[in-house]
Structure 1
Amino acid sequence: MHTLDSITVLQQTLAAWRREGHRIALVPTMGNLHEGHLRLIDAARQHADRVVATIFVNPLQFGPDEDLDRYPRTLAEDQRLLIERGCDLLFAPSVETLYPEGQATLTRISVPQVSEGLCGAHRPGHFEGVATVVSLLFNLTRPDVACFGEKDFQQLTVIRKLVRDQHMPIDIIGVPIARDHDGLALSSRNRYLDSEARTQASRLHQCLVDSARQFEQGEASEQVLAQGLQQLEEAGFRPEYLALCDATTLRPITAWQPGSVLLVAAWLGTTRLIDNLSYDSAS
């Protein structure tokens, strides 16, 4: 596996692969890789001849009081894991490489509607930062396919709309959530949890499972969501939202049905966790 931080060398390498007729897949990440990321590499390999991963802790998607400075940076370990999984190329640029004129005057990409509620309401500017860097990476690499995890469901929805609206010739593949033995969705931020909080954290996924069961029993949406929020509070969380939405538009709905998804975000101590459960995956 080659590790590059030069845009020129990256594009020269990808151009050579295209001349050889290779189909190229992109897996954008912020590093600190875990099994969930590595499953993205596996999925990419199924859809392409060459797999490119990127590692870039993007300052545009962090708010002023968020964890940009302490976000785990583990490049050497990440390289080892990518090599073991058969990644062909790692692009790991600096902030100066991607944003050479600085961030203040950078052209930003905004994706309306799907970015405005849920995490977008609690993290102003976050999805503008995501859409901007993903659009930039797409322009630099021109992949045939790109793989993203379904854990960040709103992010995946934003990227799908970005590609649709901009008529980008890229297939976006959503990869199912990788979970630990107790149901907790794998996340780089799980490393922030101490042993007690790690045990508590599994209750987040359990809340989704319990809520889905209540919907299936015919309970009203308002009641189910209220009970779910109460369940989280009793488990020691500070919930931001628990919502039932249309999986394509992310608009709130009231029926647990095909094409719907339950989404949750909650704080456990100083760690913010998200998760979701779609009707199709739960059925």
Structure 2
Amino acid sequence: MHIFYGKASLMDYLKSIKTIHSSIGFVPTMGALHQGHLALMQKSLLENDTTVVSIFVNPTQFNNPEDLAKYPRTLDEDVKKLTNLNPEIILYAPSVEDIYDGKPVSEPFDFDGLENQMEGKFRPGHFNGVGTIVKRLFEIVDPTNAYFGEKDFQQLQIVKKMVAKNHLKVNVIGCPIYREANDLAMSSRNERLSGMERDEAAIIYKVLSTVKEQFVTKSTTEISEWVQKSFDNNPHFTLEYFTIADEATLISCTRKNKNKKYRAFIAVLVNNIRLIDTISLN
């Protein structure tokens, strides 16, 4: 398996194998790989000549220093999983110095307002950090296709906007959410949950599934009030936000329009561990 710790050697290698007709698939991750990550990689392996995976815990997208410190780092285990999946995968596992040249600071981005909704309201500066790292990784890897999970749907829309506004030649592909046996959306943060918390977190998707049913007949206000009560009745969970929003603009819906696509978004805290999920409503 090819593992690169520096961008210069990775770029040289990719240039040496790239042809005018070849394609490079890219899956950026922060490690602690789970089956959801591996599903993205399997799609890339099927659709491209070469697949590159990055593992980098990006400091500029964490507004909470404690969250950054506790984020799981399991590089040795991740390498084993990648090797078992396909030893031809190319891994880029850089240091902060290699990515940021000693200056781990975000660039300012304008995502046409996408950054001001949901996650942006609760995590100041988060999407500038996301835009910065994804843009740099795209410049290093120069992928044909890049794969992102729809669990982070707001991030997916922001990456697409960043690519369009910077005229980058990469096709950004959103992939379905991969779920655990109890339908909890797979996330590296799930590893920080106790067994009981992990079981009880099934409530998140149960609530979203009911929201989808209610969306047919009830107003968004009625639905939001019901969601809030559902978590008020559960002492182990704190609802940070719930919203029904236009998929394109991410602006919260106050009155339904049959010509628009809507999606429910939720963020929940359990024992100070933050879990997010989403579901398409039409």
Q: TM-score, normalised by structure 1?
A: 0.94
Q: Deviations over 1:258-277 (max 9, x none)?
A: 62100000101211100000
Counterpart residue identity of residue 166, structure 1: N
Cα drift, residue 69 of structure 1: 1.2
* Contact 1:3–1:90 (8 Å) recurs in 2: yes
Quote the residue 1:35 is aligned against.
35
**Equivalences for residues 94-109 of structure 1 within 5 A:** 94-104=95-105, 107-109=107-109
Q: 1:123 & 1:30 partners in 2: Cα distance?
A: 18
Q: Deviations over 1:28-77 (max 9, x none)?
A: 00000000000110111232110000000000011144411111111111
Tell me the secondary structure at the aligned position of residue 69 of structure 1. helix
Q: 1:34 & 1:76 partners in 2: Cα distance?
A: 14
Quote the residue 1:144 is aligned against.
144
Change (3 A) 1:269 1:131: same
Cα drift, residue 8 of structure 1: 1.3
Q: 2:74 & 2:108 partners in 1: Cα distance?
A: 28
Note the aligned Cα RMSD (angstroms): 1.6
Q: TM-score, normalised by structure 2?
A: 0.94
* Contact 2:215–2:281 (8 Å) recurs in 1: no
Q: 1:73 & 1:66 partners in 2: Cα distance?
A: 14
Counterpart residue identity of residue 227, structure 1: W
Q: Deviations over 1:106-151 (max 9, x none)?
A: 6444434111110110000111101100000001111000000000
Q: 1:107 & 1:126 partners in 2: Cα distance?
A: 11
**Equivalences for residues 218-229 of structure 1 within 5 A:** 218-229=217-228
Tell me the secondary structure at the aligned position of residue 151 of structure 1. helix
* Contact 1:212–1:256 (8 Å) recurs in 2: no
The unaligned stretches of length 5 or more in structure 1 are none
1:127 and 2:107 matched = no
Counterpart residue identity of residue 133, structure 1: I
**Equivalences for residues 78-93 of structure 1 within 5 A:** 78-86=78-86, 87-93=88-94
* Contact 1:207–1:232 (8 Å) recurs in 2: no
Counterpart residue identity of residue 268, structure 1: V
Quote the residue 1:231 is aligned against.
230
Identical aligned residues as a percent: 35
Q: 2:108 & 2:163 partners in 1: Cα distance?
A: 15
1:261 and 2:260 matched = no
Tell me the secondary structure at the aligned position of residue 67 of structure 1. helix
> Which residue, out of 254, 278, 281, partners 1:279?
281
Q: 2:109 & 2:75 partners in 1: Cα distance?
A: 28
* Contact 1:25–1:146 (8 Å) recurs in 2: yes
Tell me the secondary structure at the aligned position of residue 135 of structure 2. helix
Change (3 A) 1:176 1:67: same
**Equivalences for residues 1-283 of structure 1 within 5 A:** 1-19=1-19, 21-86=21-86, 87-104=88-105, 107-216=107-216, 218-236=217-235, 237-253=237-253, 254-255=255-256, 259-280=261-282
Q: Deviations over 1:243-267 (max 9, x none)?
A: 1111111011232866210000010
Tell me the secondary structure at the aligned position of residue 70 of structure 2. coil
* Contact 2:107–2:128 (8 Å) recurs in 1: no
* Contact 1:56–1:94 (8 Å) recurs in 2: yes
Tell me the secondary structure at the aligned position of residue 190 of structure 2. helix
Q: How many residues align?
A: 278
* Contact 1:244–1:261 (8 Å) recurs in 2: yes
Tell me the secondary structure at the aligned position of residue 116 of structure 2. coil
